Chains A and B, each alone.
Chain A
């Protein structure tokens, strides 16, 4: 069974710090990796996707993928209180385009 694991948190960081969110997955054949942000009471919103090893940067967000170690992470630089949300990791495997979602990590950025 394909599994995607995330620490549920909450992860609490001060405003301006770097928030590091981690995700591990069980299927070595996984090919596509996504990070969704979900504010309380709202729907998940796609913020990053990554498909190859290494780093991918988009503004204050950096996704990091290490297929050998089977983890993907999301770094948020200069964290703001508005970044407080639950971050969901989603992974697709070679045989399917349907992602498996992790349970999410709650991030709290305090002023």
Chain B
């Protein structure tokens, strides 16, 4: 199956700094990737759809200036949490669809644990 990686797997930063999280499709190309946020013991909340070569599409209530998304190539999307604050601490997960037959199956990265002090 297809593999999606994320880097870093965990990061601790000071309040006010920016953090970049990478999502890579290792053995397939992805023109679209999805970024999710998962709070403890809660479901995944879709934050935005990352589109290669164009602007990301953000879900309602997600601050686009706070969560910058860049999809620079067919295998890499980055999420930058700008001026991070403790309330941004969360588990961030990306996914990428891979075509298998007639359906695009989603493959998920292992997630990035962000802790903002």
Instruction: Report whether chain A binds chain B.
Output: no
